[in-house]
Amino acid sequence: MDSGVTAEWDTLREVVIHRPGIEMFFGLLEPFAFLYERAFSMDEAVYEHSELEHALGTTGARVHRLKRLAVHLAKENTAMIERARKYVMNVVNFRGPLREVRKAKQEFKENITDLDPETIFNIMLLRPSVILEEKKSLNAIFPRVTLNVPLANLYFMRDQQAVSDLGVIVGRMSKPQRVMEPFITSTVLEISGAKIAYRVRPPGRFEGGDFIPAGEFAMLGIGDRTNRSAVNQILENGVNFDEVAVVHQPSHPLIPGDERDPMIDMHLDTYLNLAGNGIAVGCLPLLKRASVEVFRRMSQGRYTKKMGRQNLYDYLLARKFSVVPVTTLEQMSYASNFLCTKDRQILAVEVDKVVGKVINRLEHKASRNRHRYARLLQEVKQEYLQLRGTGQFFPHKKEFLELGVESTAIQLQEITGGYGGAHCMTCVLSRRT
């Protein structure tokens, strides 16, 4: 399996996705705690994901489903299934009367080789434990199964890793709900033949949505989900671009500084993306508030920081990029979270199908914290009226017509409730020029 990406606009060759299953159901029981933006229809979300998979297939790229790939590899690779078995032995816990717990642990250890690869994968996904209760009046042991944070976000396959010009950079997730995901994805990718360029180590935290390759340079976000330690590690071990722009996560100017909301622009790819060679798409208020440190690769391979800073908007202009602006409402509706499949061709969220849900959610938040969200809510409502009047909801932009960008708009109004669009849902392993 090839693994290497130099530019976001090179032609898509190989991509891995994860079709959400029962783990999404548990995420919907308490969306906020599971890092979802809002509640949504799981049935529709799974259908939308299948439509995304179909759209990816029409590009000519090889599309792999993570679970299918894992099961296939495990059947052929003894080392992989043994590694997975050892892992799940530490996942499943037993609690209850000491004698019964010892017996259950021993039986699970003895039975583990009888469990098929799909069952092993499901254990990793759902993270079950068994509580044994002694019912003396019935002369029975009664089992209750609990789940220790099912991996409800696994379908956001961008975040567990990034793919640079050197190969796969395995991340370390910032939020405890997602910390176990990179083990699963990196194991499957490595066994399938993908080149692992580097694994981020503690205290580093890195998520793939904060990485955008752009030919001679790359952009690396730093903020709520990716920290300085990870940035330093990646500069030393994970990339070989001539230049790396480290972009500091901005706060939105309409949210008070003492109550900033990092979820508005969780990753770099939630407010900036590249639709082609020299074509950027972004939310101007955020681009102009995001400060950039520039690192240049020296002859010995090390990166040295240039003096001074500039904002991301000016940096892109200096790099001769045309910037297609999106409104804050469009940005919050995942406009910039499209997937470029080749130069000037993108798969994008049909934003006008999402904006109503985003406004409703923001109204709810503003009703609970007016000081924090009132100005932002007023702005997006005004933007909605303007967009509705012009019919210029992303990706149907006149700038795209002028720049020759072709877009395929996909109905993703439910599944984006998990907090991400087509870019977030795809682990792009390789592209070709």
- The domain containing residue 120 runs over which residues? 71-147
- Residues 287, 203, single domain; the answer is yes
265 close to 286: Cβ distance less than 8 angstroms: yes
Residues 256, 143, single domain; the answer is: no
Of the candidates 312, 334, 324, the one whose C-alpha atom is nearest the C-alpha of residue 281 is: 324
Say if 5 falls within a structural domain.
no
What pLDDT is stored for residue 259 in this prediction? Answer: 84
Are 310 and 407 in the same domain?
yes
Question: What does the radius of gyration of the chain's CA atoms come to, in whole angstroms?
Answer: 23
Residue 26 token pair: 């548990």
Answer yes or no: do 60 and 77 share one domain: no
**Are residues 197 and 243 located together in one domain of the fold?**
yes
Give the pLDDT score at 135. Answer: 82
- Position 44 scores a pLDDT of 98
- The answer to whether residues 372 and 277 belong to one domain is yes
- Domain limit, last residue, from 98, 115, 147: 147
| Nearest alpha-carbon partner for 387 in 400, 401, 397 | 397
Per-residue confidence (pLDDT) for residue 136, from 0 to 100: 75
Closest by CA position to 330, among listed 296, 369, 290, 358: 358
What is the rounded CA–CA span in Å between residue 63 and residue 41?
25
Residue 411 Cα to chain centre, angstroms = 19
* Domain boundary pick from 147, 181, 208: 147
Q: Is residue 252 part of a domain?
A: yes
Structure tokens at 137: 């009046």
Question: Does 113 share its domain with 243?
Answer: no
Q: Do 125 and 137 reside in the same domain of the chain?
A: yes
The pLDDT value given to residue 2: 83
pTM of the full structure: 0.96
For residues 18 and 140, state if they share a domain: no
Residue 204 resides in a domain: yes
Domain annotation covers residue 2:
no
* 96 vs 83: CA distance, rounded Å: 28
Q: Give the number of domains in the chain.
A: 2
- Average pLDDT of each block of 10 consecutive residues along the chain (433 residues)? 94 98 97 97 98 98 98 93 94 95 96 96 97 84 95 98 98 97 97 97 98 98 98 98 98 91 96 98 98 93 93 98 98 98 98 97 97 97 97 97 98 98 98 93
List the one residue out of 220, 278, 266, 228 whose CA is nearest residue 245: 220
Contacts of 190 (CB under 8 A, 6+ apart): 168, 196
Residues 129 and 215 placed together within one structural domain of the fold: no
* Integer Cα distance of 313 and 278 in angstroms: 13
Single-letter amino acid code for the residue at 173: M
- 260: in domain: yes
My answer on whether 193 and 142 are in the same domain is no
State residue 1's pLDDT score.
80
4 found inside a domain: no
- Whichever domain contains 214, its CATH number is 3.75.10.10
Asked if residue 76 and residue 186 are part of one domain, the reply reads no
Whole-angstrom distance, CA of residue 220 vs CA of residue 314:
16
> Is 94 a domain residue?
yes
pLDDT, position 403: 98
End-to-end Cα, the chain, rounded Å: 17
Residue that finishes a domain, picked among 147, 180, 212: 147
Q: Is 219 contained in some domain?
A: yes
